[in-house]
Amino acid sequence: MPGTSPLRVSAEDAAAIHVTGEEALDWFRKMSLIRRFEERAEEAYGQGKIGGFLHLYIGEEAVAVGAMAALRPEDDVITHYRDHGYVLSRGIEPKRVMAELYGKAAGLSKGKGGSMHMADVRSHLWGGYAIVGGHIPVAAGLALANRYRNLPRVVACFFGEGATNTGSFYAALNLAAVWKLALVAIVENNRYGMGTAFERVSAVGDVYRKAAAFDIPGVRIDGNDVLAVRDAVRRVADQARTGGGPQLIEAMTYRFRGHSMGDPQRYRTREEVEEAKSRDPIARWRRTVLANGFATEDELRKIGDEVEVEVEEAVRFAENSPAPDPGELRNDVLVPE
Ligand SMILES: Cc1ncc(C[n+]2csc(CCOP(=O)(O)OP(=O)(O)O)c2C)c(N)n1
């Protein structure tokens, strides 16, 4: 029944799903890269080197990495503002992402977008959007454009559970369903929209059930299990690509940091955060990698060291890069007449 069947991938199921050693280590490296990159961004923000908003993805890394592993490079990706993880897992160089955070000319969006607006159209990354739910209609538009152009591409649209209470979520998914567009909505349920617990503001607490409003498939998965994410996104993307229409995934996860920098986090207890950290997606995948003999402790440590070097190089690059030329100010900006 559409919108009513949670998909759960147990550890036993996961073991039965084929993963190559190369994939296993690639995912470990990418999740570690996102984590370390953001820890360093957090530090730089504290030193006043990064301005504006900075929404950290720490704790949610398995969603971006698992989803990108399932998607094809030409599939379109459009996201909300908590967006560093998506571009890094698609293979964008960390130094270009860090330079964007620093507002430098060599940044991914030429230093004009900052943390919330990471875009690289050549890599089919259509950007982070700051307006909650505002990019979901754009995702439907991308999928409609792909239909017109006869391109067998899927649009993956990422957002938080809070966005499922916006009008644009309903307007966009309704038309996407009517037109059977190849749209995969990936909802990262981290339980809070800024300082508000989802259950306090949502008439329907199970996001996957909201798919029933559009008569489309909706599944709930463990978003801290990179393999479960890869498997689920692959499955629903295949359905969308072959005429199955839009699909909705609710990935259960948790953000370990505040909503944005400077969040005093009075809406949740320290104990709750610590308990959630016991389900850390990276530590968990690390255990799976070791248990399946994909790598030894030493090999994983080496990957960690390489990630450390890569992130330090990104910081150095961002610090030493020039600011955008003032003459660039009015370029790439849409100014209504
Ligand atoms: C239309 C709109 N309303 C309010 C805000 C302020 N705001 C920014 S983030 C946010 C919470 C959204 O939560 P969720 O969609 O669950 O994503 P998360 O931040 O948890 O990843 C709110 C209310 C906004 N940016 N846009």
Atom of ligand 1 nearest to the CA of 60: 21
- Please tell me the distance between residue 160's alpha carbon and the centre of ligand 1 in angstroms: 8
Atom of ligand 1 nearest to the CA of 163: 15
The more confident residue out of 6 and 153 is: 153
Q: How far apart are CA 220 and CA 302, in angstroms?
A: 34
Average pLDDT over every residue of 32-55: 98
- Please tell me the distance between residue 107's alpha carbon and the centre of ligand 1 in angstroms: 25
325 domain residue, yes or no = no
CA distances 295 to 16, 184, 214, Å, are 18, 33, 44
Confidence of residue 5 (pLDDT cuts 50, 70, 90): very low
Residue 47 CB burial class (10 angstroms; 0-12, 13-18, ≥19): exposed
Q: How far apart are CA 21 and CA 105, in angstroms?
A: 38
Determine phi and psi for 252, rounding to 5 degrees: -80, 125
112 domain residue, yes or no = yes
5 domain residue, yes or no = no
Pick the residue whose CA is nearest to atom 20 on ligand 1: 193
pLDDT tens digits, 256-286 = 999 999 999 999 999 999 999 999 999 999 9
240 domain residue, yes or no = no
Position 12 scores a pLDDT of 56
Average pLDDT over every residue of 16-41: 94
Pick the residue whose CA is nearest to atom 19 on ligand 1: 193
User: Which tokens hold the place of 19?
Assistant: 């993963």
pLDDT(4) > 60:
no
Global confidence as pTM:
0.95
- Please tell me the distance between residue 132's alpha carbon and the centre of ligand 1 in angstroms: 5
The rounded percent of the chain whose pLDDT value lies above 70 is 95
77 domain residue, yes or no = yes
Range of the domain at 169: 11-233+247-274
Position 24 scores a pLDDT of 97
Atom of ligand 1 nearest to the CA of 161: 16
When divided into structural domains, the chain yields a total of: 1
- Please tell me the distance between residue 204's alpha carbon and the centre of ligand 1 in angstroms: 18
Position 334 scores a pLDDT of 79
Average pLDDT over every residue of 59-67: 98
Give me the amino acid identity at 281: P
Position 264 scores a pLDDT of 95
Position 104 scores a pLDDT of 98
pLDDT(9) > 80:
no
Give me the amino acid identity at 36: R
Position 254 scores a pLDDT of 98
* Element housing 158 (H / E): strand 155-160
pLDDT(1) > 50:
no
CA distances 303 to 95, 278, 291, 306, 329, Å, are 18, 22, 17, 5, 40
Position 8 scores a pLDDT of 45
131 domain residue, yes or no = yes
pLDDT(2) > 50:
no
Position 13 scores a pLDDT of 53
242 domain residue, yes or no = no
The more confident residue out of 214 and 3 is: 214
Atom of ligand 1 nearest to the CA of 164: 15
Protein residues whose CB sits closer than 6 Å to any atom of ligand 1: 82, 130-132, 159-163, 190, 192-194, 259
Q: Is the dihedral of CA 12, 191, 235, 75 positive or negative?
A: negative
- Is-contact 225 14, C-beta < 8 A? yes
Position 278 scores a pLDDT of 97
Q: In what order do the strands lie in the sheet with 155-160?
A: 125-129, 76-80, 155-160, 183-189, 247-252, 218-222
pLDDT(41) > 90:
yes
pLDDT(89) > 70:
yes
pLDDT(7) > 50:
no
38 domain residue, yes or no = yes
Position 336 scores a pLDDT of 73
CA distances 174 to 116, 192, 247, Å, are 26, 25, 12
CATH of the domain at 100: 3.40.50.970
Q: Which of 194, 250, 254 to mutate to test the pocket of ligand 1 (most atoms within 8 A of CB)?
A: 194
pLDDT(80) > 70:
yes
Neighbouring residues of 259: CB distance < 8 A, sequence distance ≥ 6:
55, 192, 194, 195
Q: Which of 61, 132, 196 to mutate to test the pocket of ligand 1 (most atoms within 8 A of CB)?
A: 132
Cα–Cα nearest to 51, from 128, 125, 113: 113
- Please tell me the distance between residue 229's alpha carbon and the centre of ligand 1 in angstroms: 23
